[in-house]
Structure 1
Amino acid sequence: MDAAKEWLEIDFHVPTRTVVQSLVEKADTASISKMFVPRIAFGTAGLRGPMGAGYGNMNHITVMQCTQGILAYLEKTLGSDEVKARGVVIGYDHRWSATGVDSEMMARTAAAVCVQRGIKVYLFSSMVATPLVPFCVKHKRCAAGMMVTASHNPKDDNGYKMYGANGAQLCEPHDKSIAGLILEHLKPWADYGTAIESVRDSPLCVDILEEAKDAYFKEMAASLCHHAQDNAVSSLPIVYTAMHGVGAPFTARSFEAFKLKPFFTVSEQNDPDPSFPTVAYPNPEEGKGALELSFSKALSVNSPLVLANDPDADRLAVAELQDGGKWKIFSGNEIGMLLAHWLFRKAVEKGKSPNKLAVVASTVSSKMTRALAEKEGMRFEETLTGFKWICNKKFDLQQEGYEVILAFEESIGFCCGDLVNDKDGVCAAAVFAEMSVQLYKAGKTVSKHLNDLYESYGHFISRQGYVLVPNPRLTVEIFDKIRNKSNYPTSVGPYKIAQVRDLTTGYDSSTADNKTTLPASTSSQHLTFTFENGCIANLRGSGTEPKLKYYVELHGNDPAKVTETLLDMVKLIVITLLEPELNGLKWAGVE
């Protein structure tokens, strides 16, 4: 009740004040507790959660408090004068809630905090694809960037993602420092009510939309387009869906920058719509269900290729029509391999030395790109899951003189070249389309080309899925049971385990000192089992969704035998280690 009364003293937004005031008057402590406890925490990629009143949700107050903590961190690490001189960039998507707390309002709230602090703000004048924010951090040499978006989360959610001065998301321990400073700066630094409404009129608030777009697409074409003439005359029809998000105008312009012919749109999903009316989950990674309308459109225009962005356009999904009329939805690992090989070829054609090229991938992603890098003489680096780790490693490699041609993770996130330091579905769509034009020009499908890559680098077959775990404490219990007080399992069914790595405790049986080379974190759950037959299984708790995810990969020369063994192992790993039936959980099975 005290938290609710405190809220009423600082909330300047009538709809949310009304909600909380009504609960206080009714003394509805149960609803108040649900709304205010626990406080939404700054963690993976910043804030993310349901929109609504209260400290436990995404709203203007929690964004205000978070922004104050972020600015306190920036002033502490860079100095107040440096932060003011460099400024910050703020973008937003189209998310909306019935209380009127939408993405644009939260972006204006963050901007008002900055302006009241005397800090210059590059605030986009309309909704943008997420990659424009990290690009603008680099382009304007900003101290930081913030993006209000929940990416592909369900419609009731929103989020607040932060980028550091290098254009990448912050890693530990910096995120923990910000979390602590947020708690130290919960009280408003100023009366923001009027400032939020008029922030765009401030001389410290600059609209960066047109400048950022022009620079972004110019740099994209200059660094990543290689066949503009062929693109311009290609007869390959491509279908694209924005999944009710903000991506359509940005991806259309990326095609224009590459001289590609315009794609065919899925009209029902082309315009931003925060209710996501045609999909249960606005995530193209979900597969066929999310892409059904795209397939129908493709058949109607005789297109063999579908590209899809998630709602904030930082991810890319791809599907291709196969002989017999079925659609192949490429996994994130397959797209990553296709892009890595393509970007490698283009770099070598430009005369670049392979030993100065690098590929970065998360530890749960396919090891096929590692095989590519090793065979072709490139450097390969593995990181923890998440682009905050991936792109900070990319930045480190760049400081060593390497050109990172691709950084990716299996959850359809791809960073091509040096355009941004985050995943970018807008750029990846144009790069993939150009590659496809060249393949089809040569009489090859994307699927046939992928099979050729398997023949060259090995048949790496993988399966991913998840168990729905609504209670985070249950996730910890499941992992603790697997650990069995450090008596890790030695086999799963007939398959013997050769190595165990625990990125929660820091244990690794494959090293001389039994310590992991990757950073360990007690705040997340992540186990890796390497089997004697070469299979690698990663089990981890999601940082953004109520899921316990599994990633299993096996490689060999005979794809049929590899697939048969892999599917058997996935079932045994999930049933034996995660025990979904025993824990009363639902899991996404294997095909």
Structure 2
Amino acid sequence: LQLRDIPTLNPKTMSMVQDLMKKGAVEELKKCFSSRMEFGTAGLRAAMGPGISCMNDLTIIQTTQGFCQYLEKSFGNLKERGVVIGYDARAHPPSGGSSKRFASLASAVFVSRGVPVHLFSDITPTPFVPFTVSHLGLCAGIMVTASHNPKQDNGYKVYWENGAQIVSPHDKGISKAIEENLEPWPESWNTEEALKSSLLKDPYQDINTQYFKAIQKHCHHSSEVKIVHTSVHGVGHAFVQSAFKAFDLHPPYAVEEQKDPDPEFPTVKYPNPEEGEGVLTLSFALAEKEGATVVLANDPDADRLAMAEKQESGQWRVFTGNELGALLGWWVFHCWKQQNSDAGAVKNLYMLSSTVSSKILRAIALKEGFHFEETLTGFKWMGNRARDLLDQGKTVLFAFEEAIGYMCSPSVLDKDGVSAAAIAGEMISYLATTNTSLSQKLAGIFEEYGYHISKNSYFICHDQDVIRSLFERLRNYSGKKDSYPVECGRFSISAVRDLTTGYDSNQPDNKAILPTSSSSQMITFTFSNGGVATMRTSGTEPKIKYYTELCTAPGNSDVTSLKKELDELVDAIVENFFEPQKNKLQPKPE
């Protein structure tokens, strides 16, 4: 019955299904229709196309109907407060899907229930949605984006009234409500009427003004330093230009071939600046031409930031997410100290990072007297913890995760590549006035607080059984339940924390303090040499990721030995923990 209805509503997805049927593509049809996308704390992320496993008009309507009903049950004043909906520039012509189309459909669902909707009239960075939730006191926010995923993907990211991404049990409640509201409501398809409704408001101009006011943290007068910026065919160009203007900074040179939104991402294999040099080739060429020594890059929805610097050798150094986290953490604390003469105020200060990120902030906190906390992986955890601390009257200065995500202002309780770009620009300008390069400053931070060297990578695996088998082997290493390995090659293991099962050998009762989740895999090994290694699955990509770090005490600058030791530790982890499944895993692409 639903298939018969679809031709008049989305002829493109129907045509795709008919083509698959004509070809007898049974496996492809099974992929599309055998199982529904799972709604989790990261919302939805999947390919655009036909069927319940893909992002399309119907699944967007079903998801929004469930979310709307869940909000109606959660908030008695939903019809007074309303929601915000933003979108990026993604589009998939074969299925007729696009972020803008999905945002319009989501708006129609809420308007049909009498809920006010603040729908951005144009593309925005992801951080604008959580900012708007907090700024306007709304019940929730939706951002339609797949961030840096491949071009065929899209996503549906959800924020709660506190301005942070949802955490459990909201994901389960929303998922259940979606299942209970699969039949489209009469007006859910009617985007034309919704777009004319008095319930629909456009927050674009107001938020553009208020956001840039909120993130300003002028600390030093700027210099005329030259910086190149790329938005990698995403939404970031205009907003980063505006952010630099708000900070009275010399505007960055834009990479012409990548500055305008293009859902085909024609100049890059992966639209993810975290992948490093391959994404930044055009940026380096422009920097050479203009005489710039620093490159900043956002991912397509501008919630992440990458940075590279030209070295004296002429080579470009792409900073890791942890290294940029160290630099930005140092800088925001340096600025805070300049603006706060009360020595006791530091006791009210907090910085956060995720459990798989470098612990450089912990080392800085120990020496400087502020508080450091680690959370589970993902800004949903850091954002919610930051909100708790802010509600207690604390100051949350900075939070980061190694996947080039930075929260430099409590105005946005999520990673924000726009404010991070401007604040990085101010740091670069300040260092230029002292004739200090970013690499020199980073070395200075490590000299003062201890070198923190990390090495992270991943394997690609599409088979959930292989992933489960790999992690279960680590949990039953000697053939008995909960018998984790006690060594890895020549490296002895001193502690194990398993946040899938809730086991932590460091705790008196062996029970982990951080929240656990049986739906994702995550085990952390601490080694006798002080090394830490975490293996985990990704919530949005078919990857098994591993993160490792080794540290020295402040003043110990034997980096060569430290790097050699870490290289050998990583080799041992890959050989001992991944080797049995190695033929079923694809290594990270070069």
Q: Same fold (TM over 0.5)?
A: yes
| Alpha-carbon distance, 1:560 to partner | 1.1
Q: Are residues 1:492 and 2:457 paired? A: no
CA distance in 2, matches of 1:260, 1:122: 31
Determine if contact 1:93/1:149 at 8 Å carries over to the other structure. Answer: yes
Q: Are residues 1:324 and 2:317 paired? A: no
| Alpha-carbon distance, 1:304 to partner | 0.5
Partner of 1:69: 66
Which of 511, 515, 520 is the matching residue for 2:516? Answer: 520
CA distance in 2, matches of 1:115, 1:429: 36
Q: 2:91 is paired with a residue of what secondary structure?
A: coil
CA distance in 1, matches of 2:524, 2:271: 30
Give the AA of the match of 1:407.
A
Matches within 5 A, 1:43-58: 43-58=40-55
Which of 391, 397, 403 is the matching residue for 1:399? Answer: 391
Partner of 1:567: 567
Partner of 1:454: 446
Matches within 5 A, 1:222-233: 224-227=217-220, 230-231=221-222
CA distance in 2, matches of 1:580, 1:167: 43
Which of 10, 13, 23 is the matching residue for 1:13? Answer: 10
CA distance in 1, matches of 2:283, 2:27: 44
Q: 1:209 to 1:498 in 2, by over 3 A?
A: same
Determine if contact 2:461/2:584 at 8 Å carries over to the other structure. Answer: no
CA distance in 2, matches of 1:151, 1:132: 14
CA distance in 2, matches of 1:265, 1:117: 43
Partner of 2:208: 213
Which of 324, 333, 356 is the matching residue for 1:335? Answer: 324
Q: 1:404 to 1:115 in 2, by over 3 A?
A: same
Which of 139, 142, 166 is the matching residue for 1:146? Answer: 142
Q: Are residues 1:549 and 2:542 paired? A: no
Q: 1:236 is paired with a residue of what secondary structure?
A: coil
Moved more, 466-475 or 574-583: 574-583
Which of 169, 172, 185 is the matching residue for 1:173? Answer: 169
Q: 1:451 is paired with a residue of what secondary structure?
A: helix
CA distance in 2, matches of 1:275, 1:25: 28
CA distance in 1, matches of 2:463, 2:3: 27
Matches within 5 A, 1:89-108: 89-98=84-93, 99-108=95-104
Partner of 1:465: 457
CA distance in 1, matches of 2:359, 2:580: 27
CA distance in 1, matches of 2:454, 2:588: 14
Partner of 1:384: 376
CA distance in 1, matches of 2:27, 2:277: 40
| Alpha-carbon distance, 1:13 to partner | 1.7
Q: Are residues 1:478 and 2:475 paired? A: no
Determine if contact 2:470/2:581 at 8 Å carries over to the other structure. Answer: no
Matches within 5 A, 1:15-414: 15-21=12-18, 23=20, 29-79=26-76, 82-98=77-93, 99-193=95-189, 195-221=190-216, 224-227=217-220, 230-231=221-222, 234-351=223-340, 353-414=345-406
Q: 2:234 is paired with a residue of what secondary structure?
A: coil
* CA deviation profile, 1:502-553 (whole Å, cap 9, x unmatched): 0000000000010000001100000000000100000000111110000000
CA distance in 1, matches of 2:22, 2:561: 66
Q: 1:568 to 1:136 in 2, by over 3 A?
A: same
| Alpha-carbon distance, 1:21 to partner | 4.7
CA distance in 1, matches of 2:70, 2:575: 45
Determine if contact 2:41/2:168 at 8 Å carries over to the other structure. Answer: no
CA distance in 2, matches of 1:19, 1:483: 44
CA distance in 1, matches of 2:148, 2:381: 20
Give the AA of the match of 1:586.
Q
Give the AA of the match of 1:251.
V
* CA deviation profile, 1:38-88 (whole Å, cap 9, x unmatched): 111111420001000111101111111111111111111112xx1111100
| Alpha-carbon distance, 1:26 to partner | 7.6
Moved more, 130-139 or 340-349: 340-349
Aligned length: 577
Determine if contact 1:88/1:143 at 8 Å carries over to the other structure. Answer: yes
CA distance in 2, matches of 1:328, 1:22: 48
Q: 1:436 is paired with a residue of what secondary structure?
A: helix
Report the aligned-residue RMSD.
1.5
CA distance in 1, matches of 2:105, 2:508: 51
CA distance in 1, matches of 2:210, 2:333: 25
Percentage identity across paired residues of the two chains: 48
Determine if contact 1:534/1:554 at 8 Å carries over to the other structure. Answer: yes
CA distance in 1, matches of 2:414, 2:99: 20
Determine if contact 1:580/1:587 at 8 Å carries over to the other structure. Answer: no
CA distance in 1, matches of 2:355, 2:433: 35
Partner of 1:576: 576
Determine if contact 2:409/2:419 at 8 Å carries over to the other structure. Answer: no
CA distance in 2, matches of 1:7, 1:142: 36
CA distance in 1, matches of 2:180, 2:420: 40
CA distance in 2, matches of 1:318, 1:264: 14
| Alpha-carbon distance, 1:466 to partner | 0.1
Q: 1:547 to 1:25 in 2, by over 3 A?
A: closer
Give the AA of the match of 1:169.
Q
Give the AA of the match of 1:574.
V
| Alpha-carbon distance, 1:471 to partner | 1.4
Moved more, 506-515 or 398-407: 398-407
CA distance in 2, matches of 1:445, 1:90: 40
Q: 2:429 is paired with a residue of what secondary structure?
A: helix
Which of 420, 427, 430 is the matching residue for 2:412? Answer: 420
Determine if contact 1:467/1:580 at 8 Å carries over to the other structure. Answer: no
CA distance in 1, matches of 2:434, 2:158: 43
CA distance in 2, matches of 1:297, 1:26: 47
* CA deviation profile, 1:209-267 (whole Å, cap 9, x unmatched): 1111011011112xx2222xx22xx2210000000101000011000000111111111
CA distance in 2, matches of 1:154, 1:362: 25
Q: Are residues 1:432 and 2:424 paired? A: yes
Determine if contact 2:228/2:287 at 8 Å carries over to the other structure. Answer: yes
Determine if contact 2:235/2:261 at 8 Å carries over to the other structure. Answer: yes
Moved more, 11-20 or 31-40: 11-20
Q: 1:75 to 1:371 in 2, by over 3 A?
A: same
Determine if contact 1:359/1:369 at 8 Å carries over to the other structure. Answer: yes
CA distance in 1, matches of 2:2, 2:580: 42
* CA deviation profile, 1:184-208 (whole Å, cap 9, x unmatched): 1111122433x21342211111111
Give the AA of the match of 2:336.
A
* CA deviation profile, 1:106-143 (whole Å, cap 9, x unmatched): 00000000000100000000111111111111111110
CA distance in 2, matches of 1:500, 1:581: 21
The gaps in structure 1 that reach 5 residues or longer are: none
| Alpha-carbon distance, 1:472 to partner | 2.2
